[in-house]
A and B are shown apart, each in its own frame.
Chain A
Amino acid sequence: DIVMTQSPLSLSVTPGEPASISCRSSQSLHNYLDWYLQKPGQSPQLLIYLLSNRASGVPERFSGSGSGTDFTLKISRVEAEDVGVYYCTQSLEAPRTFGQGTKLEI
């Protein structure tokens, strides 16, 4: 299985400041990397698919980048509604695997 490793595991950010979450895979994913956000008390929701494509309704302050085995999710200016746990996941092959999650707090 492809192992996904996120860092940091928790992040405290002041509103209006940027945030960055790193995700590393145990083998090259090409562009098959997606990001999900699980807001408190909710199911995960799609943020970014295929490395850098924002899902419908996702604000432009969210961006995904990277290549090979190293990927980054950036929030240009954090807002209060961005709190939750962010997960990266590889969509290259089965079984789909997820990172441990990064908890973002304000």
Chain B
Amino acid sequence: QVQLQESGPGLLKPSETLSLTCTVSGDSVSGYYWNWIRQSAGKGLEWIGRFYSSDNIKYNPSLYSRVTMSVDASKNRFSLQLKFVTAADTAVYYCVRGKLHSGYYFYFDYWGRGTLVTVSS
């Protein structure tokens, strides 16, 4: 069974860098779209971006200048970095697998349990 587990600091100060890792078990990271989605009370569900390969990455334009995603296939891990965080980045962050269905279409088939990240001075 596929399982996704997010890990990383739960508390950050403004201007710091958020770094999260998603450890994938039960399947390889290869061949899927790996997404980060966050959920906050104020903005609901927000798609941060996705990684398929090093030359196939898309970020939400609203976060583009601050986001970096990567996959370490040797460790079966997916990572997120978000620079210069503010209180507006406080949210539950989900690691989400995107399964390719047809063409370029994929749906979100597995979600991690989510990890709460709070930004506060």
Contacts and interface: CB of A to CB of B under 8 A. Distances in A.
Interface in A30-72: 32, 34, 36, 43-46, 49-50, 55
Interface range for B: 20 to 34
Contacts of A44: 45, 94, 108, 111
Contact of B109 (A46, A87, A97): A46
A34 B105 CA distance: 11
Interface string A74-103: 000000000000010101001111111100
Contacts of B53: none
Chain B binding surface SS class: strand
B47 interface: yes
Contacts of B105: 32, 50, 91
Contact of B101 (A43, A50, A97, A101): A50
Contacts of A36: 108
Interface residues of A, number: 22
B54 interface: no
A50 B100 CA distance: 12
Given A100-B44, A101-B45, 9 more contacts: A1-B61, A44-B108, A45-B111, A50-B107, A55-B109, A95-B47, A98-B44, A98-B46, A98-B47
21 contacts: A1-B61, A32-B105, A34-B108, A43-B111, A46-B107, A50-B105, A55-B107, A87-B44, A87-B45, A91-B107, A94-B50, A94-B60, A95-B49, A95-B62, A96-B35, A96-B47, A97-B47, A98-B44, A98-B45, A98-B46, A100-B44
The 4 lowest CB-CB distance pairs between A and B, nearest first, are A43-B111, A96-B47, A98-B45, A95-B60
